[in-house]
Amino acid sequence: MSAPLRLMAVHAHPDDESSKGAATMARYVREGVDVLVATCTGGERGSVLNPKMDRPDVLENIGEVRRLEMERAREILGVEQRFLGFVDSGLPDDETEPLPDGCFAVQPIEVAAAPLVALVREFRPHVILTYDDNGGYPHPDHIMTNRISIEAFEAAGDPDKYPGTGEPWQPLKLYYHMGFSKERFEALHEAMNERGMGSPYADWIARWEDRPEKWDVTTRVPCADYFEIRDLALIAHATQVDPDGFWFVCPREIQQEVWPTEDYHLARSLVDTSLPEDDLFTGIHAEVTPACS
């Protein structure tokens, strides 16, 4: 019997794990992979984005509500989940506006990365998923999530770094989420128009014209059979996701037919692989040491 493969997804807030890579995680869990979501903050400064949940009792207890939502989404996906304990930085209306004292995004990198290094050394993932260096979009917590993920990938295996945070462990591959590519939205846009449904993506695509993709897609993971689980996990984050809103405007059946993968950019690899890939563990399966019986 072989030791299980292990996947860690590092996210900024509760709900990010359900909007980025959720079907991939659901697939791997059901194939016997150990999957852990590391959530950097509690989402305490997040807005209520679902008008149905815009109530005083929710606003007064937003941190606790979002933790309960995270637990429900975790159960649906079948993953483990840990909070790193930092406070949500919020999203300033003005880039010149200072971030709140003590929030996640203003921490020194060695402070922000230490809990993640400790978790990497405890969980021992073979693969780590995170955001690109712009955070996927320029939220300060997403950008810091990228920074600490890279720091943990590069430092967790070094016994001289972050003493007192466990025995060294070196992950083998690091990926960036690429689920919001122009190519994907163009394909969904065309499919909806061809079916006479009209598409909500035209304005979004138009705004993309002068914004070239910085990272290429290296890895497409087939996971269409798990889109329903992804959607249920999204809906579990009721303060953040309107079941009648943007996330569900394109019917699931069209998504499964037109774009049946979740997509990634391979940012670091310590194993030999051949691009393009269809599996995050390409090149790793042979590296896993058989478990002792």
Q: Where are the domains of the chain?
A: 6-178+215-287, 181-214
| Residues 139-191: tens digit of each pLDDT | 999 999 999 999 999 999 999 999 999 999 999 999 999 999 889 999 999 99
Which residue type does 292 have?
C
**Residue 13 annotated as part of some ligand binding site:** yes
Q: Is the separation of the CB atoms in 143 and 241 below 8 Å?
A: no
- Beta 219-222 vs 6-11: how paired, if at all? unpaired
| Residues 88-127: tens digit of each pLDDT | 999 887 777 899 999 999 999 999 999 999 999 999 999 9
b/e 211-239 (16+ beta carbons within 10 angstroms → b): eeeebebbbbbebbebbebbbbbbbbbbb
- State the distance between the two ends of the chain, measured CA to CA, in whole angstroms: 8
DSSP state of 263: E
Top CATH class, 6-178+215-287: alpha beta
0.75 surpassed by pTM: yes
**Residue 139 annotated as part of some ligand binding site:** no
CA dist 73 and 34 (Å) reads 16
